[in-house]
Amino acid sequence: MKSNIALLLAPGFEEAEAIITLDILSRLGIHVTTVACDQQRTVVSYHALPVTADFLLSECAEKNFDAVVIPGGPEGTNNLAKNTQAIAFIRRHDQAGKLICPICSAAAKVLAPHGLLRGRRYVCSGTFYETVTDGVYVDLPVVKDGNLLSGQGVGAAFDFAFSLAYLLTGNDVNVTEQAEHINYKIVTDLTQL
């Protein structure tokens, strides 16, 4: 059965982190549902790129996904952190053991303030980890701890996406072939996730 991923888009989301992840997962046959965490389906990114999501969060708040991807972006993470419906959506999936996948500042700015790191190892961009009291920061491009998969930032977006693809498919051959197809060398040892 094909995995189904929710990619959360809040106003000000980091477009490269979102689109690279969407592209890599889609290439590997994983269905990505873009979810607007706003009042309208068209969400404007950090660099003013309008993106039309598949659904509003209100339209799929009760739907179950195999993973929830949370892109960064200074404004995007602020908007997600104060969106009670988005936090409830993430919390419900986390409690169900589904993959929770923040990248860039999302672990520190969206998950940590709501007690969603729960002592797990994670990575985030910059010095945001200095304000986190309920997680264990690890300085690597991608970190997995239980059902939490975090990426360091836009520079690690490919590693993050390929790592997530491997976790969802369990097929390192297909993931590696796709990385080679786009001339990307995976630096994360996917077999260790």
pTM across the whole model: 0.93
Categorize the per-residue pLDDT at 126 as very low, low, confident or very high, splitting at 50, 70 and 90: very high
CB atoms within 10 A of CB 66: 17
Greatest extent of the chain over all pairs of C-alpha atoms, in Å: 41
Which amino acid does the sequence have at 186? I
Q: What is the pLDDT of residue 1?
A: 62
Q: What are the pLDDT digits (tens) for 41-98?
A: 999 999 999 999 999 999 999 999 999 999 999 999 999 999 999 999 999 999 999 9
Q: What is the pLDDT of residue 192?
A: 55
Selected catalytic residue, list 37, 60, 101, 104: 104
Residue 32 in tokens: 């990505």
Which amino acid does the sequence have at 72? G
The residue among 187, 168, 190 whose CA lies nearest residue 26 is 168
Specify the pairing of strand 67-70 against strand 99-102.
parallel
Q: What percent of the chain has pLDDT over 70?
A: 94
Is position 60 annotated as part of the catalytic site? no
